[in-house]
Amino acid sequence: MNSRVLLAIAIAVIGAAACAGLPLILAGEPYLMRLVTMFSLLLVLAASWNIVGGFTGYPSFATGAFFGLGAYAAAILQARGLDWRLALIVAGIAGAVLAAPVGYGVLRLRGHYFAVASLMLGAILRELTTGWSDLTGGGMGLTVAGAGGDPERLAAFSLRISLALAVLTVLLGAAIKWSRLGFGLDCIRMNETAAAGIGVDAQKLKTYAFTLSSVTSAIAGGVYAGWIGYIDPTDVYDVMWSVKPIVAVLLGGVGTILGPIIGAALFVALEEIVWRNVLSFSSGGLGVLIVLLLLVLPAGVLPSLVSRKRRP
């Protein structure tokens, strides 16, 4: 067995063990359950962003838009009596249906032009959601059906689902990176013009990556809606749902398989340390810590450690 297969098996086994064991181990510890659930959701978003921003080299800020779309899609469907499993599947499909045409259009742009265009998607969806009050509840928000049960059972269930989704998203990223699609995306990242010259259909591959990334982001939004129990446009379309995954991947290592895992863990740990000890200066203090870490390890934690180990 080669190293890639072993890594995939290790991720799957450790992930399965975490899904089965952590809800039992953390029973009666709501703070730790919340922390691990937030880590899992951030990992999903970070690994999703890594498909576009890491493998392809396109700095997307649309992650939060698909997260919010998935949250509302799942919440609305559950309010109409649809089973939560089907609601999450439809949320993922909704993300793909929006991402395919939008991606095909905006991925013709590059650099900061693409970044700004992708950022605007979240703002547009937020305004549409706020205005369509008959369906979404508008600015008053929407209560998710079935979220009012036993808090401990809901917390354990949400933890298990978010962990499972995180493992599947990381494995999806690995499958893409090690496939022909991943090879094409790597060519695009290094030199898109040269890639087109050797026959790589850059527009098609970029759209595939953008669409796949949107599916897992939208499902994560559906999981979040069921966990929190109440959503509103200012929450689920918050730009931080796009920024945090980028920072997490930058911390862990852009374009790597394990980078989103390491980065998400570091980000959640830093955020919690700052919130607990420097509460009144949380945003500024967290920003300073992240900037310092990126200055010390500019390529991310994982690539920096590997490169230092290889030095003579």
SS (HEC) of the chain: CCHHHHHHHHHHHHHHHHHHHHHHHCCCCHHHHHHHHHHHHHHHHHHHHHHHHHCCCCCCCCHHHHHHHHHHHHHHHHHCCCCHHHHHHHHHHHHHHHHHHHHHHHCCCCHHHHHHHHHHHHHHHHHHHHHCHHHHCHHHCEECCCCCCCHHHHHHHHHHHHHHHHHHHHHHHHHHHCCHHHHHHHHHHHCHHHHHHCCCCHHHHHHHHHHHHHHHHHHHHHHHHHHHCEECHHHHCCCHHHHHHHHHHHHHCCCCCCHHHHHHHHHHHHHHHHHHHCHHHHHHHHHHHHHHHHHHCCCCHHHHHHHHHHCC
What is this structure's pTM?
A: 0.91
pLDDT at 149 over 70: no
Alpha-carbon distance of 6 to 74, in angstroms, equals 35
pLDDT in tens, 117-132: 998 999 999 999 999 8
pLDDT value at 292 more than 80: no
- Residue-averaged pLDDT of the chain: 88
Mean pLDDT of 140-157: 78
Residue 157: pLDDT above 60? Answer: yes
The pLDDT of residue 279: 54
Domain-by-domain residue ranges, the chain?
Answer: 3-310
Q: Tell me which of 42 and 199 has the higher pLDDT.
A: 42
Tell me what pLDDT residue 298 has: 61
Rounded mean pLDDT, 160-187:
95
Q: Which residue did the predictor score with more confidence, 115 or 49?
A: 49
Q: What value does the mean pLDDT take over residues 252-270? A: 91
Mean pLDDT, range 45-71, rounded to an integer: 94
Spatial CA neighbour of 65 closest among 25, 38, 103, 36: 103
pLDDT of 102: 95
**293 alpha-carbon distance from chain centroid:** 21
Higher pLDDT, residue 285 or 180: 180
pLDDT of res. 285:
59
Indicate the pLDDT class of residue 299, thresholds 50, 70 and 90. Answer: low
From 36, 90, 43, select the one nearest 63 (Cα to Cα): 43
